[in-house]
Amino acid sequence: MDRYRTRSSRQRSRTRRSRTQRVLALAVVVGLALAVWVRASGLEAPRAPAHQAGRAIFGPVRAAQLVTATRGWALTPKRLVWTDDDGATWRDITPPQAPAPGARGVFFLDGTHGWVVASGGSAADGGVALSALRTADGGRTWASTRLAGPSAANAAAYGGPAWVRFVDALHGWILVKEVSSSNFSFGRLYRTTNGGRTWTAMDAPLGDPVTFVDQRTGWTAGGPAGDRLFVTRDAGRTWKAQAVPPPAGTGGRVAYALPVKAGGAVLLPVTVATSTRATVAWYASRDVGRTWRLANRVATGDHLGPGVRVPVAAAGSGSWVSVLPSSRRMVRLREGGDAVAVQSTPTGPAGVEDLQFTTASVGWALASSGPCAPGALCAPGRVLFRTGDGGSTWHEVTVP
């Protein structure tokens, strides 16, 4: 009897161990499956890039705009949010008619007037349609207008970015990329003169960013190689190609950024890059871009690929701020671009793609969070930074 009990106890012990092993194996399989699902869903927080090792990254941020010294918005894959205290706190202003994943472009003129371009539908459902939404109360309520009907041919393009610009509460433009390849890029321009209640469609020479400095004058810059610049002087009805001669002694690929107006002058950033060196030049105009003169240039060791543009922002009347992409050095230009000061110590975030200042001191920067390491669980995106001392120091902004 004792031998039987001993044998039975051993069998029960082996059975318990076998069950435990099966449970552990199942837990491992479920954990691995969950990790794969999180990675595929994009819910995993991206890792800090090399220049921010050891710091949390709260992105990805798809787009952001500093509207005043303390107010601005940020668009994430989940929501459109607004801050009244320079990013310390945020409130959700996502239009109920357009969940954040469908938002293609956002612009706010001030703390109350804003516009969102959103897409809906799919090619399988008969095509993707575009809508323009507007608010006059800071995003608390939204009204919607159909911008473009469902299009199966442009389903992929309508899923990409749209660029929105307003010069006052009534006059604005939306540019949407329609078709593109490695050789061409075409867009569709929409114009409103009543704050977005109705829109008129027009052809655009490029499917790339657009800006306007008054009710009639605007530019679009880009193209497959980033070397094309067009100007309109009739609110977008017709466009004319523009070009400026590269600085003497330079040669290589030319890339145009959008002109930026500050005070009575407009500044045009131009990058000229070869395989070994790059020059960033700023051209100034006091007749709204009819003539340009070389105001300043900076030779940089930055390795700039084709089409890389240097971000520039107006920072008060007659003042601009730029950042050199790889070296992270801030550049401040004054007096129509004639006076230039380049920081000797790199202070800007690495990978800055967009730069905005509302005063000489207060600014935001959107920087690429860097590529994911091979096999890493992360979501590539952009990170938002703020400065309150003209770019001498930058701090990461937490966006929910």
- Domain ranges for the chain, please list them: 93-238
Contact 345, 331 (CB under 8 A): no
* CA 7/CA 14 separation, integer angstroms: 11
CB-based contacts of 228: which residues, under 8 Å, 6+ apart?
Answer: 205, 206, 221, 222, 241, 256
pLDDT confidence band for 272 (50 / 70 / 90):
confident
Closest CA to 388 of 85, 91, 110: 85
Residue holding tokens 């995106």? 381
- φ and ψ of 315, to 5 deg: -130, 65
pLDDT of residue 282: 93
Which is higher by pLDDT, 236 or 161? 236
Q: What is the pLDDT of residues 208-258, one digit of tens each?
A: 999 999 999 999 999 888 899 999 999 999 999 999 988 887 878 889 999
Q: CA 181, 105, 310 angle in degrees (round to 5)? A: 65
Read off the pLDDT of residues 285-329 as tens digits, 9 standing for 90 and up.
Answer: 999 999 999 999 988 766 665 556 788 999 988 899 998 876 788
Cβ-contact 330, 343 below 8 angstroms: yes
Q: Decide which of 3.60.21.10, 2.120.10.10, 2.30.110.10, 2.40.50.140 is the CATH code for 93-238.
A: 2.120.10.10
- Alpha carbon 99 to chain centroid distance? 18
- Given this model, what pLDDT does residue 343 score? 79
pTM, two decimals, is 0.80
Q: Give percent above pLDDT 70 in the chain.
A: 74
pLDDT of 123-158, one tens digit each? 566 677 889 999 999 999 999 999 877 666 666 667
pLDDT: which is higher, 42 or 94: 94
Contact of 63 with 77, CB cutoff 8 Å: no
The C-alpha atoms of residue 353 and residue 257 are separated, in whole angstroms, by: 11
